[in-house]
């Protein structure tokens, strides 16, 4: 579990990783913020690089998603755009997300996600989580992975903080840009941080 200190209005609150290994998570592709699920699961490299690897706390694993157009060996512009996941954290029945913490995967810098969206909802049943109308946008911006220079592999990047005071029960994250041409997008970790 990642723990950091975050100061709000002259008071210090402990921020923890809202997501953790074992949380219910579903991989998504062909979907964007505010929209219903376009497609889910099945666009990653089997169980070795599936959605739970995005929140397992290990730098030695990764979540890889080929997106709607990608496949192994392809070289495409942004095949990982509009891919991601939704997750219902088990740490609490409601949490307030205030930051993201990404880590690069082991290889191929062109697969790095550079920008993302994060949405929240108080829905927890799978049917509602697939509806675009269930979600509220809480962040749109950088992952902390350097745009100009490819950073070290299997490394945590700079945490990206944002303002939010609304508690949610579930979260949905989508990649909105990646570094370059490749067959997919990948990252070792995409931790959602906040307080409970």
* pLDDT higher than 50, residue 3: no
* pLDDT higher than 60, residue 153: yes
CA 51 to chain centre: 9
pLDDT band at 43 (very low <50, low <70, confident <90, very high): confident
Delimit the domains of the chain by residue range. 18-195
**C-beta atoms surrounding 49 within 10 Å:** 17
What pLDDT is recorded for position 38?
Answer: 93
What pLDDT is recorded for position 28?
Answer: 96
* Residue range 18-195, CATH number: 2.60.120.260
DSSP state of 52: G
* pLDDT higher than 70, residue 58: yes
């Amino acid at each position: 579990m990642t723990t950091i200190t975050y100061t709000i209005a002259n008071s210090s609150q402990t921020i923890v990783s809202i997501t953790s290994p074992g949380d219910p998570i579903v991989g998504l592709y062909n979907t964007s913020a505010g929209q219903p699920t376009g497609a889910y699961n099945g666009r990653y490299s089997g169980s070795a690089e599936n959605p739970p690897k995005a929140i397992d706390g290990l730098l030695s694993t990764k979540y890889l998603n080929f997106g709607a157009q990608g496949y192994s060996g392809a070289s495409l512009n942004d095949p990982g755009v509009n891919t991601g996941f939704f997750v219902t954290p088990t740490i609490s029945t409601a949490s307030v997300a205030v930051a993201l913490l990404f880590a690069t995967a082991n290889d191929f810098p062109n697969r790095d996600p550079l920008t993302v969206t994060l949405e929240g909802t108080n829905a927890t049943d799978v049917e509602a989580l697939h509806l675009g109308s269930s979600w509220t946008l809480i962040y749109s911006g950088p992952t902390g992975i350097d745009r100009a220079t490819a950073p070290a592999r299997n490394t945590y990047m700079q945490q990206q903080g944002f303002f939010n005071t609304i508690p949610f029960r579930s979260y949905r994250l989508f990649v909105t840009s990646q570094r370059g041409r490749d067959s997919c997008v990948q990252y070792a970790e995409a931790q959602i941080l906040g307080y409970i």
